[in-house]
Amino acid sequence: MQTVSEVLNDANTKIQKSFDALKNQFAGLRTGKASPAMVDGIQAEAWGSKQPLKNIATISTPEPRQIKITPFDPSTIDGIMKAILAANIGVTPQSDGKVVRITVPELNEERRKEIVKQAKTQAEAQKVAMRNVRRDANDAVKKLEKEKQISEDDMKLALDKIQKATDDGIAKIDVELKAKESEVMAV
């Protein structure tokens, strides 16, 4: 049987995880600046299986608009090139046989708006996740009150704390979204 503090801690942890997930998603969005996070989710064929790029190469940004991928084993370059093209992230890799370079082009207005729309969709999905956490935590607290584990006053206090945690999480998402939006729309 859970206690109120366990329910609250669980809810706070899940809300924080939702926020962290959003930050990771935002890191992968293209903003016109090169970022290793752009290629984080890409899996390349290497040594007979699919491997995350960061496991088979070092990824750096030597210039503001360039990503440099240096494979540990030069024989994996073809797999890395194919994986980047297949990921459809809007860039074309170039190789000199030793390293793969990705030049990040300037974003046009239309593409910027698409990225902002994608960011808003991701933010909304995480808000929904937070609201689901709130619903589950509220149900758990109401169940404790129904089973006479806690008083009605304790239940109302816990519900208020859950609501505040949810509101704080959603506010953090809004701040992060605004920052990402201004970063993407900056020319």
What digits encode the pLDDT tens for the residues 123-166? 999 999 999 999 999 999 999 999 988 899 999 999 999 999 99
Q: Which residues of 9-35 are buried (b: 16+ CB within 10 A; e: fewer)?
A: eebbebbeebbeebeebbeebbbbebb
Whether residue 74 has pLDDT greater than 70: yes
Whether residue 58 has pLDDT greater than 80: yes
pTM of the model: 0.70
Rounded to 5 degrees, φ, ψ at 174 are -60, -40
Q: In whole numbers, what is the pLDDT of the chain averaged over residues?
A: 88
The tokens describing 86, both together, are: 């297949």
Go through the domains of the chain in sequence order and give each one's CATH number.
Answer: 4-27+108-185 (1.10.132.20), 36-103 (3.30.1360.40)
pLDDT digits (tens, 9 = 90+) for 35-48: 787 887 888 888 88
